[in-house]
Amino acid sequence: MKPSELLTRIVITVFNLGVVALSLALWAQTPLIHARIAEGGGWSPNVIQAKVGEPLHLKFTSDDVMHGFSVGQMEMQPVDIEPGKVSETTLTFTKPGIYTFFCTRWCGLNHWRMRGTVKVTGSETGTPEPVTPPLYVSLGLDLDKPHPVPFAPAGRPSAANGQKLAASLLNARFTTPDYYRSHAPAQLFDNLRSTGLSDSQRWDLVATVWQSNTTPAGLAEGKQLFAQNCAACHGEFGGGNGVFADDLAAAGTASMQTMNGDMAMSMQTPADFTNPQRMLGASPALLQGKILRGGMGTGMPMWGTIFTHEQIWNVIAYLYSFQFDYPK
Binding site for ligand HEC (CB under 6 A): 112, 229-230, 232-234, 244, 248, 268, 270-271, 278, 282, 287, 290-291, 295, 298-301, 303, 315
CB closer to ligand HEC, 298 vs 321? 298
Are the beta carbons of 307 and 73 closer than 8 angstroms? yes
Q: Min. distance of Cβ 85 from ligand HEC in angstroms?
A: 27
Smallest distance from the beta carbon of 159 to ligand HEC, in angstroms?
21
Distance between CA atoms of residues 317 and 311, nearest Å: 10
Q: Is 235 exposed, middle or buried (0-12, 13-18, 19+ CB in 10 A)?
A: buried
**Cβ distance to ligand HEC smaller for residue 162 or 284:** 284
Closest CB 218 distance from ligand HEC, rounded Å? 14
Contact 255, 267 (CB under 8 A): yes
Strand bridging mode 79-81 / 97-102: unpaired
289/283 Cα distance (integer angstroms): 10
CB of 266 to ligand HEC, least distance (A): 9
CB-nearer residue toward ligand HEC: 122 or 148? 148
CA distance 239 to 163: 28
Nearer to ligand HEC, 65 or 165 (CB): 65
- How far is the C-alpha of 314 from the C-alpha of 213, rounded, in Å? 10
Could you tell me the smallest distance in angstroms from the CB atom of residue 195 to ligand HEC?
A: 28
The packing angle between helices 309-320 and 216-229, to 10°, is 90
Beta carbons within 8 Å of 206's beta carbon, 6+ residues apart: 157, 162, 185, 188, 189, 192, 324
CB 234 → ligand HEC: shortest distance, Å? 6
Find residue 118's DSSP bridge partners.
48, 99
When the beta carbons of 124 and 310 are compared against ligand HEC, the nearer one is 310
Nearest residue (CB) to ligand HEC, 192 versus 282: 282
- Closer by beta carbon to ligand HEC, 51 or else 223: 223
Q: Please say which residue, 115 or 278, places its beta carbon nearer to ligand HEC.
A: 278
Distance CA 189, CA 276 (A): 13
For the CB of residue 20, give the shortest distance to ligand HEC in the complex, in Å. Answer: 44
Name the residue number minimizing CB distance to ligand HEC: 295
User: What 3-state class would DSSP assign to 57?
Assistant: strand
Residue 300 Cβ vs ligand HEC, minimum distance, rounded to whole Å: 3
Report the half-sphere exposure of 84 (CA within 13 A, side-chain side). Answer: 0
